[in-house]
Chain A
Amino acid sequence: MWKHPWGYAEGLTICGGLLLTGIMLQFAVGKVELGRLSYPFGLIAGALFLILLIVLHVASRRAGLLRWLSGQVAAITAVSALLLLVIIMGLTRQLPAYEDVLSEASARHNLSMENPAGRMGFMQMTSAWPFALLFLYMLLILGLVTLRRLSRFRLKDLGFALNHLGLFTALFAAAFGSGDLRRLRMTAPLNSPEWRAVDERNEIVELPLAVELKSFGIDEYPPKLMLMDNSSGAILPPGRPAGVEVEASPAVLELAGWQVEVVKYFPAAAALINSDTTLFAEMEMEGSAAAVYARVRDANGAALREGWVSCGSFMFPPIPLPLSDKVSLIMPDREPRRFSSEVTVYTKGGDRRRALIEVNRPMAIDGWQIYQLSYDQARGRWSRYSVFELVRDPWLPIVYAGIGMMLAGAVFLFLSKPRKE
């Protein structure tokens, strides 16, 4: 071993050494505090890494051993070692990076303290020293490979350049930018500007912008009718629950062998509940619920039962329609198709913008992205607040540049011919 040229044994030994060093560091100083990499330290660390890369690249023209670092064997062994850690990560339950595994929080999870995986940092893999060292080693190799090929670039290397430079760019920005990533949660009440949010540890943060919720709404899918087993509460038929959507009245629907005639359908109705009867009147109001007056026959067509069935709301109870001792017709809660918040956002600079924020449609303002996250589940459509996630990631454009290169590189990979043997 250690005779030139180096092979897999040497490559794997280096990775093993880094792994051991990482584990010892983990025991000695605890996990990597990625939060410390926030501006300007992430930027400085990234710059130092790039300088190291260039120095090694220049030096490798002279020293053969350094040239090994930009070879296939180094690449294969480094990716394999990292793969081992990723597999371990996939097999162990991961705790959020901000939690302190070795202190009070560990009591809650009750497993991390004695657990060797927790000790070595494997339960918070992305902030564990072994992972960090092997990742940086792999990134260094990737950088050296890319530099070596780019320094004598020819057009036929374009695919190579897009794949390797793209991956390097994306990973570099993701890693050194991770300290600058801010993710906050804000609960915005109706009609009152909110400028405070909480971070992962539930500590309050004041923001340079304020969000005022103007209105909140949920678009729901049409209500469904289903059959429920009276004793177990399970939806029938067991295993593959059947349901029919109610979209209009009058209509005749077929549900698992029963014939359901929709006599009246009110998308929004209020219940008038007496001691022995329940009636519904069509009415759009806070807390109104969908209701159907149904006439249900069995397979033979004999008239069986008729009555109201409703999904209920925070105001009204759900109303089932019992068909027999065993079975009831029910209307489960309607599924949301879309939930959205109409907001006005004010910035410190005096800017003021209105926007509609939905799931999958965040709003971007002043370097922040505002996401629809949640609402008052109990009140549903009539929620009086909306929960937003606010994200700031100044390194994102660099990550996207890398992703763009990789997408183009994938097209080259698709079209390229493997080497002939």
Chain B
Amino acid sequence: MQWTYFIYFAVAAAICWAAGALFAWREDGYRWAIAASCTGLLIFAAFIAGMWLSLERPPLRTMGETRLWYSFFLPAAGLVTYMRRRYKWILSFAVLLSLVFVCINLFKPEIHNKALMPALQSPWFAPHVIVYMIAYAVLGAATLAAVYLLARPAQGKQSQVMELCDSLVYVGLAFVTIGMLFGAIWAKAAWGHYWSWDPKETWAAATWMAYIIYIHFRLHHPSRHKAAMWLLVFGFLLLQICWFGVNYLPSAGNSVHVYG
């Protein structure tokens, strides 16, 4: 197996996944959605297995190789969530994210041999960043829903949209937590300690706490929608500061997270 064959496997898998995602939107499409998604996963898994055999090592070394796993696990996770929770949108969302990684591998493979400074050359680098990226997307979606409700308070649908926000935040917070803990484990290996209150870490902690508050507030006061929506906006604001705002703060002094 070689990278040159990737396009055939990727296109075949993508067609299956897209079909599965479309079926999920139809009332009677549940079985077909699962069948199509599984076929896509099998095709993609075959490519990974082939690479594994021909490289004689797990394909986990270069950035391109790790992206293979994300392209695979995103639809897989989407499928599990769909089977458990029956959200119509989750497959489309997962497939879309996965296709981003597939496309990067197809169109920008030269990133494989780009110079990475030694501290970034770690098996934790890709998971840490990509898990945060997914969380970012999911929590962004929750914030959009909240802003929509704040701007146009639709009385009838409010509970439904709040429930959607809840499930998005559960998924998003799960990813934020995993991203943060992967970061901690990596920091231990790279810099000697798992948590140093570097400005980026400080804002990550603040973001995480804001969403913890949201979850518990919702559990305790399910009917206080407005406050909950403002909490979502607040949490996303903190996430923005964590993402790029820190670079402009006086506290960023000599952050280890500022590269180049």
- Chain A interfacial positions (CB closer than 8 Å to B): 72-73, 75-76, 79-80, 82-83, 86-87, 89-94, 125-126, 174, 181, 183, 221, 335-339, 358-362, 369, 371, 389, 391, 393, 396, 399, 403, 406-407, 409-411, 413-421
- The 8 Å CB contact of A421, one of B118, B159, B205, B216, is B159
Given contacts A72-B216, A90-B203, contact A126 B181 (CB under 8 A): no
Interface contact B178-A76, CB-CB below 8 Å = no
Q: Which of A83, A174, A361 contacts B189 (CB 8 A)?
A: A361
Q: Are A359 and B118 in contact (CB under 8 A)?
A: yes
User: Is A86 within 8 A of B202, CB to CB?
Assistant: yes
Contact residues in B for A393 (Cβ distance below 8 Å): 193
Nearest Cβ in chain A — how far from B142, in angstroms?
Answer: 12
Looking at the complex, which of B1-9, B48-56, B161-169 is the stretch in contact with chain A? B161-169
A-B contacts besides A125-B197, A414-B81, 10 pairs, CB < 8 Å: A72-B220, A79-B212, A86-B202, A90-B246, A90-B251, A183-B193, A403-B185, A407-B181, A413-B174, A415-B81
Contact in complex: A410, B195 (CB < 8 Å): no
> Which size bracket describes the interface of B in this complex?
35 or more
Provide the residues of chain A in CB contact with B241, threshold 8 Å: 90
Q: Which residue of A lies closest to B176 (CB)?
A: A410
With contacts A335-B115, A413-B177, A417-B167 taken as known, whether A72 is within 8 angstroms of B219 at the C-beta atoms is yes
Enumerate chain B residues within 8 angstroms of A80, measured Cβ to Cβ: 213
- The answer on a CB contact under 8 Å between A389 and B222 is no
Question: What's the A-B contact tally at a CB cutoff of 8 Å?
Answer: 138
Q: Is B223 an interface residue (CB 8 A)?
A: yes
Q: Report A-chain residues with C-beta under 8 Å of the C-beta of B166.
A: 418-419
Q: How far is the CA of A403 from the CA of B124 in the complex (A)?
A: 15
Known A90-B199, A371-B192, A391-B193: A83·B209 in contact at CB below 8 Å: yes
Residue B157 lies at the interface, judged by CB distance under 8 Å to chain A: no
Q: Say whether A76 contacts B193, CB under 8 Å.
A: no
Cα–Cα distance between A393 and B191 once the two chains are bound (Å): 13
For B245, the closest partner residue in chain A by CB is: A90
Across the interface, B202 reaches (CB within 8 A) one of A90, A336, A369, A421, namely A90
A83→B210 contact, CB < 8 A: yes
Q: Report whether A126 and B189 are in contact in the complex, using a CB–CB cutoff of 8 Å.
A: no
Q: Is the CB of B189 within 8 A of A414?
A: no
Is B118's CB under 8 angstroms from A413's CB?
no
B151 at the interface (CB under 8 A from A): no
Give 1 or 0 for each of B232-254: 1 = CB within 8 Å of chain A CB.
00000010010000100111010
Q: How far is the CA of A82 from the CA of B213 in the complex (A)?
A: 11
Partner-A contacts on B (CB < 8 A): 77, 80-81, 84-85, 115-119, 121-122, 159, 162-163, 166-167, 170-171, 173-175, 177-178, 181, 184-185, 188-195, 197, 199, 202-203, 205-206, 209-210, 212-213, 216-220, 222-223, 238, 241, 246, 249-251, 253
Q: Are A76 and B170 neighbours in the complex by a CB distance under 8 Å? A: no
Q: Bound state CA distance, A340 and B188, in angstroms? A: 18
Picked from A125, A183, A338, A411, the residue with its CB within 8 Å of the CB of B118 is A338
With a CB–CB cut-off of 8 A, which chain A residues contact B218? Answer: 418
Q: When chains A and B are docked, how far (Å) is the Cα of A336 from the Cα of B197?
A: 27
Check B174 against A411 for contact (C-beta < 8 Å).
yes
Smallest beta-carbon distance A165→chain B, Å: 14
For the complex, would chain B's binding face be called helix, strand, loop or mixed by DSSP majority?
helix
Q: Is the beta-carbon distance between A360 and B189 smaller than 8 angstroms?
A: yes
Cβ-defined contact, A90 with B115, below 8 A = no
Q: How far is the CB of B52 from chain A (nearest CB, A)?
A: 23
Chain B residues with CB under 8 Å of A125's CB are 197
CA distance A94 to B193 in the complex (A): 17
Known pairs A72-B216, A76-B213, A418-B166; A335 contacts B117 (CB<8 A):
yes
Q: Which residues of A contact B167 (CB under 8 A)?
A: 417-418
Question: Which residues of B are found within 8 Å of A419, using beta-carbon distances?
Answer: 166, 219, 222
In angstroms, how far is the closest chain A Cβ from the Cβ of B161?
A: 11
Pairwise interchain contact A359-B216, C-beta atoms closer than 8 A: no
Residue in B173, B185, B197 whose beta carbon sits within 8 Å of that of A94 in the complex: B197
Bound Cα distance A406, B251 (Å): 29
- By the criterion CB–CB under 8 Å, are A406 and B206 in contact? no
Q: With the chains together, A183 CA to B181 CA distance in Å? A: 21
Given A362-B189, A410-B174, A420-B163, CB of A83 within 8 Å of CB of B181: no
How far is it, in angstroms, between the C-alpha of A259 and the C-alpha of B125 when the chains are bound?
36
Shortest A236–chain B CB gap in Å is: 18
Q: Is the CB of A417 within 8 A of B193?
A: no
On chain A, the residues within 8 Å of B184 by CB distance are 403
Q: Is the CB of A221 within 8 A of B177?
A: no
**Chain A proximity of B232: nearest CB distance (Å):** 13
Q: Which 6 A-B pairs have the closest CB atoms?
A: A418-B166, A414-B174, A359-B118, A72-B220, A413-B174, A410-B174
Least distance between B149 CB and chain A CB atoms (Å): 14
Q: Is A90 a contact of B249 with CB atoms below 8 Å?
A: yes
Instruction: Indicate the member of B77, B81, B122, B217 with the most A CB atoms within 10 Å.
Output: B217
Beta-carbon nearest neighbor of B217 in chain A: A76
Q: Which chain B residues lie closer than 8 Å to A391 at the CB level?
A: 192-193
- Nearest-Cβ distance from residue A386 to partner chain B, whole angstroms: 14
24 residue pairs of the A-B complex, CB under 8 angstroms, read A72-B216, A72-B220, A76-B220, A79-B209, A80-B213, A83-B206, A83-B213, A89-B197, A91-B250, A92-B251, A94-B199, A125-B197, A335-B117, A359-B118, A359-B119, A362-B189, A371-B192, A396-B188, A406-B181, A410-B178, A413-B174, A415-B80, A416-B170, A421-B162
* Distance between Cα atoms of A413 and B115 in the complex (Å): 37
B206 touches A87 (CB 8 A): yes
CA of A79 to CA of B220, assembled, Å: 15
A71 to B125, CA, bound (A): 38
